[in-house]
Structure 1
Protein backbone atom coordinates (compact mmCIF):
# COMPACT_ATOMS: atom_id res chain seq x y z
CA UNK A 1 0.00 0.00 0.00
CA UNK A 2 3.01 2.29 0.38
CA UNK A 3 4.41 4.71 -2.17
CA UNK A 4 7.85 5.37 -0.74
CA UNK A 5 9.85 8.51 -1.41
CA UNK A 6 13.52 8.22 -0.45
CA UNK A 7 15.68 11.18 0.48
CA UNK A 8 19.31 11.25 1.53
CA UNK A 9 18.77 13.89 4.20
CA UNK A 10 15.91 15.87 5.70
CA UNK A 11 14.96 17.77 8.80
CA UNK A 12 12.03 15.58 9.80
CA UNK A 13 10.20 12.91 7.83
CA UNK A 14 7.04 13.71 9.82
CA UNK A 15 7.21 17.33 8.68
CA UNK A 16 7.80 16.22 5.10
CA UNK A 17 4.81 13.88 5.09
CA UNK A 18 2.60 16.46 6.78
CA UNK A 19 3.43 18.93 4.01
CA UNK A 20 2.67 16.29 1.39
CA UNK A 21 -0.63 15.53 3.11
CA UNK A 22 -1.66 19.20 3.01
CA UNK A 23 -0.80 19.22 -0.70
CA UNK A 24 -3.19 16.35 -1.36
CA UNK A 25 -0.92 13.30 -1.19
CA UNK A 26 -2.75 9.98 -1.09
CA UNK A 27 -2.93 7.62 1.84
CA UNK A 28 0.06 5.33 1.73
CA UNK A 29 2.60 8.02 0.90
CA UNK A 30 5.79 7.48 2.88
CA UNK A 31 9.10 9.30 3.23
CA UNK A 32 12.25 7.51 4.36
CA UNK A 33 15.50 9.38 5.03
CA UNK A 34 19.07 8.22 5.20
CA UNK A 35 19.75 10.98 7.70
CA UNK A 36 17.26 12.98 9.76
CA UNK A 37 18.65 16.17 11.27
CA UNK A 38 15.83 17.17 13.61
CA UNK A 39 13.70 14.11 14.20
CA UNK A 40 11.05 14.59 16.87
CA UNK A 41 9.63 12.22 19.44
CA UNK A 42 6.88 12.42 22.00
CA UNK A 43 6.75 15.53 24.21
CA UNK A 44 8.77 17.44 21.56
CA UNK A 45 12.01 15.61 22.26
CA UNK A 46 14.61 15.61 19.48
CA UNK A 47 16.03 12.46 17.98
CA UNK A 48 19.15 12.02 15.85
CA UNK A 49 21.28 9.13 14.59
CA UNK A 50 24.44 8.86 12.47
CA UNK A 51 23.69 8.83 8.71
CA UNK A 52 22.66 5.42 7.40
CA UNK A 53 22.54 3.80 10.83
CA UNK A 54 18.82 3.84 11.52
CA UNK A 55 15.42 3.61 9.92
CA UNK A 56 13.72 7.02 9.83
CA UNK A 57 10.36 6.82 8.07
CA UNK A 58 6.92 8.43 8.19
CA UNK A 59 3.68 7.09 6.74
CA UNK A 60 0.55 9.00 5.71
CA UNK A 61 -2.77 7.52 6.85
CA UNK A 62 -6.26 8.80 6.08
CA UNK A 63 -8.66 6.67 8.18
CA UNK A 64 -11.82 8.45 7.03
CA UNK A 65 -14.11 5.55 7.91
CA UNK A 66 -12.89 5.34 11.50
CA UNK A 67 -14.64 7.50 14.13
CA UNK A 68 -12.27 10.18 15.36
CA UNK A 69 -12.67 9.04 18.98
CA UNK A 70 -10.88 5.81 17.99
CA UNK A 71 -7.89 7.53 16.41
CA UNK A 72 -5.93 7.51 19.72
CA UNK A 73 -5.35 3.81 19.04
CA UNK A 74 -3.18 4.64 16.03
CA UNK A 75 0.05 5.26 18.01
CA UNK A 76 -0.45 1.94 19.81
CA UNK A 77 -1.22 0.17 16.54
CA UNK A 78 2.01 1.46 15.01
CA UNK A 79 3.87 0.22 18.08
CA UNK A 80 2.41 -3.27 17.68
CA UNK A 81 3.41 -3.29 14.01
CA UNK A 82 6.96 -2.21 14.89
CA UNK A 83 7.36 -4.94 17.51
CA UNK A 84 6.00 -7.57 15.13
CA UNK A 85 8.37 -6.43 12.40
CA UNK A 86 11.41 -6.57 14.68
CA UNK A 87 10.55 -9.96 16.15
CA UNK A 88 9.55 -11.45 12.81
CA UNK A 89 12.61 -10.25 10.89
CA UNK A 90 15.33 -10.58 13.54
CA UNK A 91 14.06 -12.69 16.43
CA UNK A 92 15.06 -9.90 18.84
CA UNK A 93 12.69 -9.94 21.82
CA UNK A 94 11.16 -6.48 21.52
CA UNK A 95 8.31 -5.27 23.72
CA UNK A 96 6.35 -2.04 24.15
CA UNK A 97 6.52 0.49 26.95
CA UNK A 98 3.25 2.39 27.04
CA UNK A 99 2.29 3.99 24.83
CA UNK A 100 4.65 2.95 22.04
CA UNK A 101 8.36 2.97 22.87
CA UNK A 102 9.94 -0.21 21.50
CA UNK A 103 12.23 -1.74 24.13
CA UNK A 104 14.65 -4.63 24.40
CA UNK A 105 15.43 -5.45 28.04
CA UNK A 106 14.47 -1.91 29.11
CA UNK A 107 16.68 -0.25 26.48
CA UNK A 108 14.98 1.81 23.79
CA UNK A 109 15.19 0.41 20.28
CA UNK A 110 12.65 2.66 18.56
CA UNK A 111 10.47 5.68 19.14
CA UNK A 112 7.17 6.47 17.46
CA UNK A 113 5.35 9.76 16.95
CA UNK A 114 1.86 9.88 15.42
CA UNK A 115 0.46 13.32 14.66
CA UNK A 116 -2.89 14.51 13.34
CA UNK A 117 -2.74 16.82 10.33
CA UNK A 118 -5.64 18.88 8.99
CA UNK A 119 -5.72 18.91 5.19
CA UNK A 120 -8.14 20.16 2.50
CA UNK A 121 -9.18 16.53 2.01
CA UNK A 122 -9.94 16.06 5.71
CA UNK A 123 -7.98 15.05 8.78
CA UNK A 124 -5.04 12.71 8.31
CA UNK A 125 -2.44 11.04 10.50
CA UNK A 126 1.32 10.98 10.07
CA UNK A 127 3.04 8.01 11.71
CA UNK A 128 6.77 8.48 12.19
CA UNK A 129 9.21 5.81 13.38
CA UNK A 130 12.87 6.06 14.28
CA UNK A 131 14.44 2.63 14.79
CA UNK A 132 18.08 1.99 15.68
CA UNK A 133 19.59 -0.54 13.30
CA UNK A 134 23.39 -0.58 12.99
CA UNK A 135 24.58 1.77 15.75
CA UNK A 136 27.38 0.62 18.01
CA UNK A 137 27.47 1.24 21.75
CA UNK A 138 29.49 4.47 21.50
CA UNK A 139 26.89 5.92 19.11
CA UNK A 140 23.99 5.57 21.53
CA UNK A 141 23.07 6.78 25.02
CA UNK A 142 23.21 4.14 27.79
CA UNK A 143 19.42 3.83 27.79
CA UNK A 144 19.23 2.87 24.09
CA UNK A 145 20.11 -0.14 21.97
CA UNK A 146 20.17 -1.18 18.30
CA UNK A 147 19.50 -4.30 16.30
CA UNK A 148 23.27 -4.65 15.84
CA UNK A 149 23.84 -4.63 19.59
CA UNK A 150 21.05 -7.16 20.10
CA UNK A 151 22.68 -9.71 17.78
CA UNK A 152 21.00 -8.86 14.47
CA UNK A 153 24.20 -7.55 12.91
CA UNK A 154 23.30 -8.38 9.32
CA UNK A 155 20.09 -6.35 9.19
CA UNK A 156 20.07 -3.08 7.25
CA UNK A 157 17.53 -0.23 7.38
CA UNK A 158 16.06 -1.16 3.98
CA UNK A 159 15.19 -4.66 5.18
CA UNK A 160 13.65 -3.25 8.34
CA UNK A 161 11.58 -0.83 6.26
CA UNK A 162 10.11 -3.64 4.17
CA UNK A 163 9.19 -5.70 7.23
CA UNK A 164 7.72 -2.70 9.03
CA UNK A 165 5.71 -1.62 6.00
CA UNK A 166 4.20 -5.09 5.64
CA UNK A 167 3.22 -5.39 9.29
CA UNK A 168 1.83 -1.86 9.46
CA UNK A 169 -0.27 -2.37 6.33
CA UNK A 170 -1.75 -5.56 7.80
CA UNK A 171 -2.55 -4.04 11.20
CA UNK A 172 -3.94 -0.87 9.72
CA UNK A 173 -6.17 -2.71 7.25
CA UNK A 174 -7.63 -4.87 10.03
CA UNK A 175 -8.23 -1.85 12.27
CA UNK A 176 -9.75 0.15 9.43
CA UNK A 177 -12.01 -2.72 8.31
CA UNK A 178 -13.46 -2.86 11.85
CA UNK A 179 -13.88 0.95 11.91
CA UNK A 180 -11.26 1.21 14.63
CA UNK A 181 -12.99 -1.08 17.13
CA UNK A 182 -10.12 -1.95 19.49
CA UNK A 183 -11.75 -5.16 20.70
CA UNK A 184 -11.66 -6.51 17.14
CA UNK A 185 -7.91 -7.07 17.23
CA UNK A 186 -5.62 -4.24 18.20
CA UNK A 187 -6.41 -4.10 21.95
CA UNK A 188 -5.64 -7.77 22.67
CA UNK A 189 -2.57 -7.64 20.43
CA UNK A 190 -1.30 -4.57 22.25
CA UNK A 191 -1.81 -6.07 25.70
CA UNK A 192 0.19 -9.16 24.68
CA UNK A 193 3.15 -7.01 23.60
CA UNK A 194 3.11 -4.40 26.36
CA UNK A 195 5.82 -4.79 28.99
CA UNK A 196 4.30 -2.01 31.10
CA UNK A 197 1.16 -3.90 32.12
CA UNK A 198 1.46 -5.60 35.48
CA UNK A 199 4.47 -3.47 36.44
CA UNK A 200 4.95 -1.07 39.30
CA UNK A 201 5.58 2.19 37.45
CA UNK A 202 6.15 5.86 37.98
CA UNK A 203 4.36 8.27 35.67
CA UNK A 204 6.19 11.58 35.25
CA UNK A 205 4.05 14.44 34.01
CA UNK A 206 5.24 17.72 32.45
CA UNK A 207 6.55 19.91 35.24
CA UNK A 208 7.36 18.17 38.51
CA UNK A 209 4.27 16.07 39.14
CA UNK A 210 4.49 12.29 39.26
CA UNK A 211 2.39 9.31 40.34
CA UNK A 212 3.27 5.72 41.22
CA UNK A 213 1.16 2.61 41.03
CA UNK A 214 0.55 -0.60 39.15
CA UNK A 215 -0.08 -0.40 35.41
CA UNK A 216 -3.33 -2.34 35.58
CA UNK A 217 -4.81 -2.12 32.09
CA UNK A 218 -5.38 -0.18 28.88
CA UNK A 219 -8.82 1.41 28.58
CA UNK A 220 -11.06 1.53 25.50
CA UNK A 221 -9.31 4.64 24.19
CA UNK A 222 -5.75 3.35 24.66
CA UNK A 223 -5.05 5.23 27.89
CA UNK A 224 -3.11 3.62 30.74
CA UNK A 225 -5.08 2.63 33.84
CA UNK A 226 -2.92 3.17 36.92
CA UNK A 227 -3.90 1.46 40.18
CA UNK A 228 -2.77 3.65 43.07
CA UNK A 229 -3.86 2.04 46.32
CA UNK A 230 -7.63 1.78 46.21
CA UNK A 231 -7.98 4.27 43.34
CA UNK A 232 -7.75 3.87 39.62
CA UNK A 233 -6.35 6.77 37.62
CA UNK A 234 -6.53 7.04 33.84
CA UNK A 235 -3.37 8.41 32.21
CA UNK A 236 -3.54 9.99 28.78
CA UNK A 237 0.05 11.25 28.56
CA UNK A 238 3.23 11.09 30.59
CA UNK A 239 6.65 9.45 30.79
CA UNK A 240 6.57 5.91 32.16
CA UNK A 241 9.41 4.56 34.31
CA UNK A 242 9.32 0.81 34.90
CA UNK A 243 10.11 0.12 38.54
CA UNK A 244 9.55 -3.59 39.17
CA UNK A 245 7.14 -6.44 38.39
CA UNK A 246 4.31 -7.17 40.82
Structure 2
Protein backbone atom coordinates (compact mmCIF):
# COMPACT_ATOMS: atom_id res chain seq x y z
CA UNK A 1 0.00 0.00 0.00
CA UNK A 2 1.30 3.44 -0.89
CA UNK A 3 2.05 5.57 2.16
CA UNK A 4 0.37 8.96 2.30
CA UNK A 5 -0.06 11.70 4.84
CA UNK A 6 -3.54 10.23 5.54
CA UNK A 7 -2.19 6.76 6.39
CA UNK A 8 -2.14 7.42 10.14
CA UNK A 9 -5.80 8.08 10.92
CA UNK A 10 -4.90 8.99 14.50
CA UNK A 11 -2.83 11.89 13.20
CA UNK A 12 -4.58 13.53 10.22
CA UNK A 13 -2.98 16.57 8.61
CA UNK A 14 -3.95 20.10 9.54
CA UNK A 15 -6.47 21.87 7.33
CA UNK A 16 -4.49 24.92 6.26
CA UNK A 17 -7.39 26.55 4.41
CA UNK A 18 -9.77 26.30 7.36
CA UNK A 19 -7.09 27.49 9.79
CA UNK A 20 -6.28 30.49 7.62
CA UNK A 21 -9.96 31.39 7.32
CA UNK A 22 -10.40 31.17 11.10
CA UNK A 23 -7.38 33.13 12.32
CA UNK A 24 -6.30 35.49 9.52
CA UNK A 25 -9.02 38.09 9.87
CA UNK A 26 -9.06 41.89 9.50
CA UNK A 27 -9.22 42.46 13.26
CA UNK A 28 -6.49 39.97 14.16
CA UNK A 29 -2.73 40.45 14.41
CA UNK A 30 -2.27 37.36 12.21
CA UNK A 31 -1.67 38.36 8.60
CA UNK A 32 -0.60 35.07 6.99
CA UNK A 33 -0.61 31.37 7.88
CA UNK A 34 1.25 28.65 6.02
CA UNK A 35 1.45 24.93 6.76
CA UNK A 36 4.37 22.88 5.41
CA UNK A 37 4.72 19.11 5.51
CA UNK A 38 8.28 19.12 6.88
CA UNK A 39 11.07 21.55 7.61
CA UNK A 40 14.18 21.80 9.70
CA UNK A 41 13.06 24.63 11.99
CA UNK A 42 10.06 26.93 11.69
CA UNK A 43 11.98 29.59 13.64
CA UNK A 44 14.83 29.53 11.12
CA UNK A 45 12.46 29.60 8.15
CA UNK A 46 10.44 32.47 9.58
CA UNK A 47 13.64 34.37 10.40
CA UNK A 48 14.52 34.26 6.71
CA UNK A 49 11.08 35.60 5.82
CA UNK A 50 11.39 38.33 8.44
CA UNK A 51 14.75 39.39 7.02
CA UNK A 52 13.03 39.63 3.65
CA UNK A 53 10.44 42.03 5.02
CA UNK A 54 7.57 39.73 6.03
CA UNK A 55 4.81 41.59 7.82
CA UNK A 56 4.08 41.21 11.51
CA UNK A 57 1.64 38.39 12.16
CA UNK A 58 3.10 35.76 9.85
CA UNK A 59 2.54 32.21 11.16
CA UNK A 60 4.47 29.19 9.94
CA UNK A 61 3.30 25.71 10.96
CA UNK A 62 5.12 22.44 10.25
CA UNK A 63 3.60 18.98 10.34
CA UNK A 64 7.11 17.76 11.15
CA UNK A 65 10.31 19.46 12.30
CA UNK A 66 13.56 17.64 11.66
CA UNK A 67 15.85 20.14 13.40
CA UNK A 68 13.61 21.94 15.85
CA UNK A 69 15.48 23.95 18.47
CA UNK A 70 14.87 24.65 22.12
CA UNK A 71 16.77 26.84 24.53
CA UNK A 72 20.54 26.35 24.84
CA UNK A 73 20.61 24.75 21.37
CA UNK A 74 18.71 21.67 22.53
CA UNK A 75 16.97 19.63 19.83
CA UNK A 76 13.21 19.21 19.63
CA UNK A 77 11.99 16.27 17.55
CA UNK A 78 8.73 14.33 17.39
CA UNK A 79 6.87 12.10 14.91
CA UNK A 80 5.08 13.83 12.07
CA UNK A 81 1.67 15.31 12.95
CA UNK A 82 2.05 14.30 16.60
CA UNK A 83 2.05 17.85 17.95
CA UNK A 84 1.88 21.55 17.29
CA UNK A 85 5.14 22.89 15.84
CA UNK A 86 4.91 26.51 14.73
CA UNK A 87 6.46 29.97 14.88
CA UNK A 88 5.00 33.48 14.77
CA UNK A 89 6.57 36.76 13.71
CA UNK A 90 5.93 39.79 15.92
CA UNK A 91 7.36 43.28 15.45
CA UNK A 92 7.15 44.98 18.86
CA UNK A 93 9.80 47.46 17.76
CA UNK A 94 7.67 48.89 14.95
CA UNK A 95 4.82 51.39 15.14
CA UNK A 96 1.33 50.00 14.63
CA UNK A 97 -1.16 50.99 11.95
CA UNK A 98 -3.26 52.85 14.52
CA UNK A 99 -0.30 55.02 15.50
CA UNK A 100 0.89 53.21 18.61
CA UNK A 101 4.63 53.52 19.04
CA UNK A 102 7.19 50.74 19.47
CA UNK A 103 7.44 48.84 22.75
CA UNK A 104 10.64 49.67 24.67
CA UNK A 105 13.28 47.01 24.03
CA UNK A 106 13.83 46.32 27.73
CA UNK A 107 10.28 44.92 27.90
CA UNK A 108 10.68 42.46 25.04
CA UNK A 109 11.92 39.82 27.46
CA UNK A 110 8.32 39.35 28.51
CA UNK A 111 7.34 37.92 25.12
CA UNK A 112 8.30 34.26 25.82
CA UNK A 113 6.49 34.51 29.17
CA UNK A 114 3.48 36.03 27.39
CA UNK A 115 3.52 33.12 24.94
CA UNK A 116 3.59 30.73 27.88
CA UNK A 117 0.56 32.34 29.52
CA UNK A 118 -1.36 32.39 26.23
CA UNK A 119 -0.56 28.77 25.40
CA UNK A 120 -1.22 27.38 28.88
CA UNK A 121 -4.55 29.20 29.04
CA UNK A 122 -5.63 27.94 25.63
CA UNK A 123 -4.59 24.34 26.26
CA UNK A 124 -6.27 24.22 29.66
CA UNK A 125 -9.54 25.39 28.14
CA UNK A 126 -9.48 23.57 24.83
CA UNK A 127 -7.67 20.31 25.64
CA UNK A 128 -9.18 19.99 29.11
CA UNK A 129 -5.75 19.45 30.67
CA UNK A 130 -4.48 21.70 33.46
CA UNK A 131 -1.29 23.29 32.14
CA UNK A 132 1.25 25.07 34.33
CA UNK A 133 4.36 27.11 33.55
CA UNK A 134 7.90 26.35 34.58
CA UNK A 135 10.09 29.45 34.43
CA UNK A 136 11.11 30.53 31.90
CA UNK A 137 9.64 28.60 28.98
CA UNK A 138 8.30 25.11 29.74
CA UNK A 139 4.69 23.92 29.67
CA UNK A 140 3.95 21.34 32.37
CA UNK A 141 1.11 18.86 32.81
CA UNK A 142 0.66 16.21 35.48
CA UNK A 143 0.75 12.51 34.63
CA UNK A 144 0.44 9.87 37.36
CA UNK A 145 1.02 12.51 40.00
CA UNK A 146 4.24 13.82 38.44
CA UNK A 147 4.85 17.08 36.60
CA UNK A 148 6.17 16.50 33.10
CA UNK A 149 7.06 18.71 30.18
CA UNK A 150 4.51 18.76 27.37
CA UNK A 151 5.85 21.75 25.47
CA UNK A 152 8.35 24.56 25.22
CA UNK A 153 8.84 28.05 23.84
CA UNK A 154 11.81 29.66 22.12
CA UNK A 155 11.90 33.41 21.44
CA UNK A 156 14.62 34.86 19.20
CA UNK A 157 15.24 38.48 18.27
CA UNK A 158 15.37 39.15 14.55
CA UNK A 159 16.76 42.43 13.31
CA UNK A 160 16.01 45.76 14.93
CA UNK A 161 12.28 45.44 15.46
CA UNK A 162 11.20 41.78 15.36
CA UNK A 163 10.93 38.74 17.61
CA UNK A 164 10.16 35.23 16.42
CA UNK A 165 8.44 32.97 18.93
CA UNK A 166 8.53 29.23 18.32
CA UNK A 167 6.21 26.85 20.14
CA UNK A 168 6.23 23.10 20.35
CA UNK A 169 3.52 21.07 22.09
CA UNK A 170 3.36 17.29 22.26
CA UNK A 171 -0.24 16.36 21.49
CA UNK A 172 -0.64 12.66 20.63
CA UNK A 173 2.75 11.12 21.46
CA UNK A 174 2.61 7.65 22.99
CA UNK A 175 4.81 6.65 25.92
CA UNK A 176 7.25 4.79 23.67
CA UNK A 177 7.67 7.87 21.45
CA UNK A 178 8.72 10.31 24.17
CA UNK A 179 12.22 11.74 23.66
CA UNK A 180 13.10 11.70 27.38
CA UNK A 181 11.44 10.18 30.48
CA UNK A 182 10.51 13.61 31.83
CA UNK A 183 8.46 14.47 28.73
CA UNK A 184 4.81 13.73 28.09
CA UNK A 185 1.93 14.66 25.81
CA UNK A 186 -1.60 15.98 26.13
CA UNK A 187 -2.91 12.51 25.26
CA UNK A 188 -0.92 10.87 28.05
CA UNK A 189 -2.19 13.57 30.43
CA UNK A 190 -5.77 12.52 29.68
CA UNK A 191 -6.88 15.00 27.03
CA UNK A 192 -10.29 13.83 25.76
CA UNK A 193 -9.34 14.67 22.16
CA UNK A 194 -6.19 15.24 20.14
CA UNK A 195 -7.56 17.17 17.15
CA UNK A 196 -4.81 19.71 16.50
CA UNK A 197 -6.91 22.16 14.47
CA UNK A 198 -8.98 23.54 17.38
CA UNK A 199 -5.92 23.48 19.62
CA UNK A 200 -3.89 25.58 17.21
CA UNK A 201 -6.75 28.02 16.67
CA UNK A 202 -7.19 28.44 20.41
CA UNK A 203 -3.48 29.04 21.02
CA UNK A 204 -3.22 31.61 18.21
CA UNK A 205 -6.32 33.48 19.39
CA UNK A 206 -5.07 33.53 22.97
CA UNK A 207 -1.64 34.69 21.84
CA UNK A 208 -3.19 37.48 19.77
CA UNK A 209 -5.31 38.63 22.71
CA UNK A 210 -2.40 38.72 25.15
CA UNK A 211 -0.07 40.40 22.65
CA UNK A 212 -2.70 43.02 21.91
CA UNK A 213 -3.16 43.80 25.61
CA UNK A 214 0.61 43.94 26.17
CA UNK A 215 1.14 46.28 23.23
CA UNK A 216 -1.76 48.49 24.31
CA UNK A 217 -0.05 48.85 27.70
CA UNK A 218 3.26 49.79 26.01
CA UNK A 219 4.69 46.44 27.11
CA UNK A 220 4.04 47.12 30.81
CA UNK A 221 3.64 43.65 32.36
CA UNK A 222 1.68 44.94 35.36
CA UNK A 223 -0.71 47.23 33.46
CA UNK A 224 -1.48 44.43 30.98
CA UNK A 225 -1.98 41.97 33.87
CA UNK A 226 0.62 39.71 32.29
CA UNK A 227 2.89 39.71 35.34
CA UNK A 228 0.09 38.76 37.73
CA UNK A 229 -1.30 36.07 35.44
CA UNK A 230 2.11 34.55 34.83
CA UNK A 231 2.81 34.38 38.57
CA UNK A 232 -0.57 32.75 39.21
CA UNK A 233 0.14 29.97 36.71
CA UNK A 234 3.85 29.49 37.42
CA UNK A 235 4.61 26.16 39.09
CA UNK A 236 8.13 27.36 39.92
CA UNK A 237 7.06 29.96 42.48
CA UNK A 238 7.01 28.77 46.08
CA UNK A 239 9.37 25.91 45.31
CA UNK A 240 12.90 25.15 46.37
CA UNK A 241 14.90 25.46 43.16
CA UNK A 242 18.38 25.35 41.73
CA UNK A 243 19.13 27.75 38.89
CA UNK A 244 22.00 26.54 36.70
CA UNK A 245 23.42 29.69 35.14
CA UNK A 246 24.83 30.14 31.63
CA UNK A 247 28.60 29.75 31.68
CA UNK A 248 28.59 27.79 34.94
CA UNK A 249 27.59 28.53 38.49
CA UNK A 250 24.28 28.06 40.20
CA UNK A 251 21.92 29.68 42.69
CA UNK A 252 19.84 27.60 45.08
CA UNK A 253 16.97 28.78 47.22
CA UNK A 254 13.25 29.43 47.22
CA UNK A 255 11.62 30.94 44.12
CA UNK A 256 9.58 33.83 45.49
CA UNK A 257 8.68 36.14 42.61
CA UNK A 258 8.90 37.05 38.95
CA UNK A 259 9.99 40.70 38.84
CA UNK A 260 9.05 43.49 36.46
CA UNK A 261 11.77 42.43 34.02
CA UNK A 262 10.52 38.84 33.89
CA UNK A 263 13.41 37.55 36.00
CA UNK A 264 12.95 34.78 38.55
CA UNK A 265 13.71 36.05 42.06
CA UNK A 266 15.30 33.43 44.32
CA UNK A 267 15.55 33.91 48.08
CA UNK A 268 18.91 32.62 49.34
CA UNK A 269 20.67 32.89 52.71
CA UNK A 270 22.58 35.83 51.20
CA UNK A 271 19.39 37.63 50.14
CA UNK A 272 17.12 37.73 47.11
CA UNK A 273 18.84 37.25 43.76
CA UNK A 274 17.19 37.76 40.35
CA UNK A 275 17.95 35.27 37.57
CA UNK A 276 17.44 36.41 34.01
CA UNK A 277 18.53 33.24 32.21
CA UNK A 278 19.36 29.68 33.08
CA UNK A 279 17.97 26.21 33.66
CA UNK A 280 15.79 25.84 36.76
CA UNK A 281 15.45 22.53 38.57
CA UNK A 282 12.48 22.06 40.90
CA UNK A 283 13.89 20.52 44.07
CA UNK A 284 10.69 20.28 46.09
CA UNK A 285 7.45 18.69 44.86
CA UNK A 286 4.53 20.97 44.13
CA UNK A 287 2.33 21.68 47.16
> In the alignment, is residue 188 of structure 1 matched against residue 228 of structure 2?
yes
Segments ≥4 residues shifted beyond 6 Å: none
SS of residue in 1 equivalent to 2:126? helix
* Alignment partner of 1:32 is 2:95: no
- Is 1:163 equivalent to 2:202 in the alignment? yes
How far apart are the structure 2 equivalents of 1:162 and 1:48?
22
The one-character-per-residue Cα deviations of 1:103-138 (angstroms, maximum 9, x if unpaired) are: 0132001010000000xxx42000100000010000
Please show how residues 3-152 of structure 1 align to structure 2 within 5 Å. Answer: 3-63=32-92, 64=94, 65-105=102-142, 106-118=147-159, 122-140=160-178, 141-152=180-191
Q: Secondary structure at the match of 2:38?
A: strand
Residue 183 of structure 1: SS of its match in structure 2?
coil
Q: CA deviation at 1:208?
A: 4.5
Instruction: Tell me how far apart the structure 1 counterparts of residues 46 and 104 of structure 2 sit (CA, whole Å).
Output: 22
Aligned position for 1:222 = 262
Q: State the secondary structure of the residue aligned to 1:26.
A: coil
- Shift of residue 206 of structure 1? 3.5
Deviation at 1:219, TM superposition (A): 1.1
What's the RMSD between the two structures over aligned residues?
1.2
TM-score (norm 1): 0.96
Q: How many residues are matched?
A: 243
Q: Output the TM-score relative to the length of structure 2.
A: 0.82
Matches within 5 A, 1:201-220: 201-220=241-260
User: Does structure 1 residue 198 correspond to structure 2 residue 227?
Assistant: no
Q: Which has the higher strand share?
A: 1
SS in 2 for 1:213: strand
- More relative contact order, 1 or 2 (CA 8 Å, 6+ apart): 1
Structure 1: stretches of 5+ with no match in the other structure: none
- Cα offsets for 1:194-242 (capped at 9, x unmatched): 0001110011124552221000111111001111114111101111111
CA distance in structure 1 between the aligned counterparts of 2:278 and 2:203, rounded to whole angstroms: 26
- Displacement of 1:45 after TM fit? 0.6
